[in-house]
Amino acid sequence: MKTIYFTDSEADLEKAAELIKKGKLVAFPTETVYGLGADALNEAAVKNVYKAKGRPCDNPMIVHISHFDDLKLLAEEIPEDASVLADRFWPGPLTMIMNKKPAVPKVTTGGLDTVAVRMPSDKVALKLIEKSGCAIAAPSANLSGKPSPTKWEHASKDLDGRIEGIIRGGDCQVGIESTVLDLTGEIPTILRPGIVTASELSEVLGKPVEMDRSLFAKIELKEPCYGEGSEAEDEDRDGGETEKASGMGPKSPGMKYKHYAPKGQMVIFQGDRAKVDLAVKERRQKAEAEGLQVKVIFFDDSREAARGFFKQLRDADDEGAELILAYALEENEVGFSVMNRMLKSAGYNVVQL
- Closest to Mg ion by CB, 95 vs 140, is 140
30 sits near Mg ion (criterion: CB under 5 A): no
Site for ligand TXA in 35-54 (CB under 6 A): 35
User: Judging by beta carbons within 10 Å of its beta carbon (0-12, 13-18, 19+), is residue 140 exposed, middle or buried?
Assistant: buried
121/317 Cα distance (integer angstroms): 30
- Closest to ligand TXA by CB, 123 vs 283, is 123
Instruction: Find which of ligand TXA, Mg ion, none residue 230 binds, CB within 5 to 8 Å per kind.
Output: none
- Measure CA 106 to chain center: 20
Instruction: Find which of Mg ion, ligand TXA, none residue 62 binds, CB within 5 to 8 Å per kind.
Output: ligand TXA
Q: Least distance (Å) from ligand TXA to the CB of residue 185? A: 11
Contacts of 54 (CB under 8 A, 6+ apart): 143, 144, 145, 224, 225, 226, 227, 228
- Closest to ligand TXA by CB, 145 vs 254, is 254
- Measure CA 188 to chain center: 20
Return the exposure string of 114-132: e unless at least 16 CB atoms fall within 10 Å of the residue's CB, then b.
bbbbbbbbbebbbbbbebb
User: At residue 346, what is the residue type?
Assistant: A
Contacts of 246 (CB under 8 A, 6+ apart): none
Q: Least distance (Å) from ligand TXA to the CB of residue 146? A: 11
Which one of 192, 237, 295, 344 is in contact with ligand TXA (CB under 6 A)? 192
Q: Supply the Cα-derived Rg of the chain in whole angstroms.
A: 20
Q: What are phi and psi of 182, to 5 degrees?
A: -90, 120
From residue 56 to residue 85, the character string flagging contacts with ligand TXA as x (rule: CB under 6 A) and all else as - is: ---xxxx-----------------------
Strand duo 350-352 + 265-270: pairing: parallel
Site for Mg ion in 87-146 (CB under 5 A): 140
- Closest to Mg ion by CB, 249 vs 280, is 249
**Are the C-beta atoms of 16 and 26 separated by less than 8 Å?**
yes
**Are the C-beta atoms of 62 and 116 separated by less than 8 Å?**
yes
- With both helix axes pointing from N to C terminus, report the angle between 123-132 and 10-21 in degrees, rounded to the nearest 10: 50
User: At residue 3, what is the residue type?
Assistant: T
- Closest to ligand TXA by CB, 78 vs 180, is 180
109 sits near ligand TXA (criterion: CB under 6 A): yes
254 sits near ligand TXA (criterion: CB under 6 A): yes
Residue facing ligand TXA at closest CB distance: 254
- Closest to Mg ion by CB, 140 vs 214, is 140
Instruction: Find which of Mg ion, ligand TXA, none residue 237 binds, CB within 5 to 8 Å per kind.
Output: none
146/36 Cα distance (integer angstroms): 14
Site for ligand TXA in 2-31 (CB under 6 A): 30
Q: Least distance (Å) from ligand TXA to the CB of residue 10? A: 22
Site for ligand TXA in 275-334 (CB under 6 A): none
Which one of 54, 92, 105, 139 is in contact with ligand TXA (CB under 6 A)? 139
- Closest to Mg ion by CB, 55 vs 131, is 55
Chain residues in the site for ligand TXA (CB under 6 A): 30, 32-33, 35, 59-62, 93, 95, 97, 109, 112, 114-116, 118, 120, 138-140, 177-178, 180, 191-192, 251-255
Chain residues in the site for Mg ion (CB under 5 A): 140
